[in-house]
Amino acid sequence: MVNLYSDSVKYLSLIPLTIVFIILLIVLTKKRNRKQGIPQEVIEERIRNFQPKPLIDPDNIVNDNTLERLQPNESDPDCLNLVKVNYYCFLDNLDIRRSAETCIKKYGVGSCGPRGFYGTIDIHLLLEDRLAKFMQMEEAVLYSYGFSTIASAIGAYCKKSDYIFVDENISFCAKQGLLATKGREIYFKHNDVNDLEAKMHSISQLEDKDKNQKKKIFRKFIIIEGIYGATGQICPLPEILTLCKKYKVRIFIDETYSFGVLGTTGKGVTEHFGVDRSEVDMIMGSLEGALGSIGGFCVGASVIIEHQRLSGLGYCFSASLPPFLCQASLCALDKLEQCPEYISTLKDVSVSVNNALSNLKGYTILNSDISPVKVLTLSKSFSREERISNVNKIYTYCAQKGLYLDLVDMGLRLHCHMQMPDPAIDRIKDTLSDALKII
């Protein structure tokens, strides 16, 4: 009796095994069949017809200005370097330098590994926590480089089937992120809410059509900058948010230039307009702007941010941020919180520079007045080649006089900082004015 019972159990346990075996057999034979399914001729033909395309379309390269940049000599007392982003002069701050040095003594210079493997040190967690608290959002994720923050974060969410609304003057790094996602980009005119609405409307009609045909629905994103690096203009966030709600679009804001700058306490463009930060899906920021360190971060709700720890390529596959740079950021953040008057001082300087530059004949200012990023173009209309050659001449003239400006697509860019004395502002104005005489 006992024997019979144990025998039947033995046989019973064989049944699931057999089933698994049969399923495996089916799957394996199917795979093999499919491999055999493509005839050799077809493969040969595909190889014959394959025409490798260049990774970058040579007709599409926009920046045709190849003028070599002159290197500022900062030990020269006459040198005025306005290429450098140093809003609160944290690059020259001794306290920050000392705290970074102390950190090197404790942790060494590098973390030597990606965050997910062996590159996470307590100070990374501390900084992430601090940034999330500062921005009053649930969670922050830290990247090792500002450029890759934007490029990776976009790639972590947007997929091939998604529609992505993008401002036509978005930063180069965001464009790289978009290139990697292969999503369907829809460019709208710079800061033009009407153009954006028209484009969102046409996509929503497309969506309705897809829904009727029971096709898979796609997602919609918009990517904007707080202050645009290309024009120095602040985005019209409240209007854009209204459109996002109306058309159900997720919004990502790149605050590379506006984090630590806009708003009374430096929380960026959301604080500047007094909008609720929870309405924004994700804010991407840089530690390289106002804080004068290196690296970048994204803040948002935990469910959104957590996703990047497995799918943000720059997070997963780069060595983590060196601990002393985390310390420098923490120290700079402390200073910014202790001295909110820094932020209003920078605003005052930015406005006075704007006033000085707006009196300049021959130039047009593109930026918003409180933005510390100033972008100047030539007022007179020139052909593209002529404009580039004239801007290059002005650039070289100013650099020879010790005034270093940044060359951008449309003209010249400069960054204000909070300790800019009036004589320096006059000097910028006079040099730019003199430069016009040589073209």
Ligand X SMILES: *[C@@H]1O[C@H](CO)[C@@H](O)[C@H](O)[C@H]1NC(C)=O
409 binds ligand X (CB under 6 A): yes
We find the least distance from the C-beta atom of residue 371 to ligand X, in angstroms, to be: 13
Cβ–Cβ < 8 Å for 377, 368: no
**One residue of 7, 92, 168, 210 binding ligand X per CB under 6 A:** 168
Contacts 24+ apart (CB under 8 A), 355-358: 356/425, 356/426, 356/428, 356/429, 357/428, 357/429, 357/432
CB of residue 190 vs ligand X: minimum separation in angstroms? 5
Beta carbon nearer to ligand X, 152 or 191: 191
Residues 222, 223, 226: CA angle, nearest 5 degrees:
130
d(Cα 299, Cα 173) in Å, to the nearest integer?
18
Residue 70 or 112 having the CB closest to ligand X: 70
Indicate whether 169 belongs to the interface with ligand X (CB under 6 A): yes
CB of 229 to ligand X, least distance (A): 9
Describe the crossing of helices 422-435 and 384-400 by its angle, rounded to 10 degrees: 130
Q: How far apart are CA 267 and CA 262, in angstroms?
A: 7
Binding to ligand X, residues 77-96 (CB under 6 A): none
Does 410 bind ligand X (CB under 6 A)? Our answer is: yes
Least separation in angstroms between residue 34's CB and ligand X is: 45
Q: Which is nearer to ligand X, 97 or 190 (CB)?
A: 190
Find residue 283's DSSP bridge partners.
253, 299
The answer to whether 430 contacts ligand X (rule: CB under 6 A) is no
Residue 422 is a binding residue for ligand X (CB under 6 A): no
Q: Please give the size of the binding site for ligand X, defined by CB under 6 A.
A: 11
Phi then psi for 410, rounded to 5 degrees?
-95, -10
Stretch that binds ligand X, among 26-34, 68-76, 195-203, 211-219 (CB under 6 A): 68-76
User: Which one of 14-22, 72-80, 241-249, 383-391 is the stretch in contact with ligand X (CB under 6 A)?
Assistant: 72-80
381 contributes a contact to ligand X by CB under 6 A: no
Contact assessment for residue 380 and residue 309, using Cβ atoms and an 8 Å cutoff? no
- Token duo for residue 280: 């924004």
Per CB under 6 A, the list member of 7, 44, 76, 208 interacting with ligand X is 76
Does position 73 bind ligand X by CB under 6 A? yes
Task: Please answer whether residues 378 and 362 qualify as being in contact, where contact means their C-beta atoms are separated by less than 8 angstroms.
Answer: yes
Residues in 223-262 that interact with ligand X by CB under 6 A = 230-231
Which span sits near ligand X by CB under 6 A: 69-77, 109-117, 335-343, 350-358? Answer: 69-77
**Using CA atoms, how far apart are residues 145 and 261, in angstroms rounded to an integer?**
19
- Candidate ranges 71-79, 217-225, 328-336, 381-389; the one touching ligand X (CB under 6 A): 71-79
* Residue 359: partners with Cβ closer than 8 Å, 6 or more residues away: 429
Q: Do the beta carbons of residue 269 and residue 341 sit within 8 Å?
A: no
Q: How many residues can be counted in the chain?
A: 439
Residues near ligand X, by CB under 6 A: 73, 75-76, 168-169, 190, 230-231, 366, 409-410
